[in-house]
Amino acid sequence: HTHTGERLELVYARGGSYLPEALGALDRLLRDHYSGEVGRMDPALYDLLHRVRQATGSRAHFEVISGYRCAATNERLRTTRGGGVAKTSLHTQGRAIDVRLPDVALADLRDAAWSLGLGGVGYYPRERFVHLDTGRVRRW
């Protein structure tokens, strides 16, 4: 996590079942780094990340910029950042994550995610991250 410096490597599913202890650890890692509030992340997001990593051929760990956001943090960012933060952000529902892979060009990460057709893909080259979510298929 780029904001907290925390690192986590684990198996989150085995035999087609999610591992509750691992999901809890991931929820803590991806907590709102502004408020410390822990939300429940959508496990399908981890499946998406896994597939994106496979599609890119990356051997690196994801660098996480943002995971869960509580409603108050989201509203503060939305009103102070001059746009770019959705009022009904999927981050507040634990269904979105902003990431990069150090060994993959950002545009290639975006393209790999988009090719899967599994959710939203936002490209933020200036901020150096790709937004991935488990919402409807769309891109920006």
Q: Encode pLDDT of 15-52 as tens digits.
A: 999 999 999 999 999 999 999 999 999 999 999 999 99
Helix (H) or strand (E) holding 129: strand 129-133
* Average pLDDT in the chain: 96
- HSE-up of 83 (CA within 13 Å, CB side)? 0
Please give the Cα distance from 1 to 113 (Å, whole number): 20
Q: Residue 26, Cα to own-chain centre: how many angstroms?
A: 11
DSSP E strands in 15-73: the ranges are: 17-18, 63-66
* pLDDT above 70 as % of the chain: 99
Mean pLDDT confidence for 3-23: 97
Q: Which residues contact 48 (CB under 8 A, 6 or more apart)?
A: 113, 116, 118, 119, 132, 134
Cβ distance 90 to 120 under 8 Å?
Answer: yes
Instruction: Give me the pLDDT at residue 27, please.
Output: 98
Is pLDDT at 86 greater than 90 in this prediction?
A: no
* pLDDT above 90 as % of the chain: 92
Residues 118, 124, 129: CA angle, nearest 5 degrees: 75
Mean pLDDT confidence for 120-134: 97
Tokens of 14: 């085995």
Cβ distance 99 to 64 under 8 Å?
Answer: yes
Q: Which residues contact 101 (CB under 8 A, 6 or more apart)?
A: 53, 56, 58, 60, 62, 63, 109
Instruction: Give me the pLDDT at residue 105, please.
Output: 98
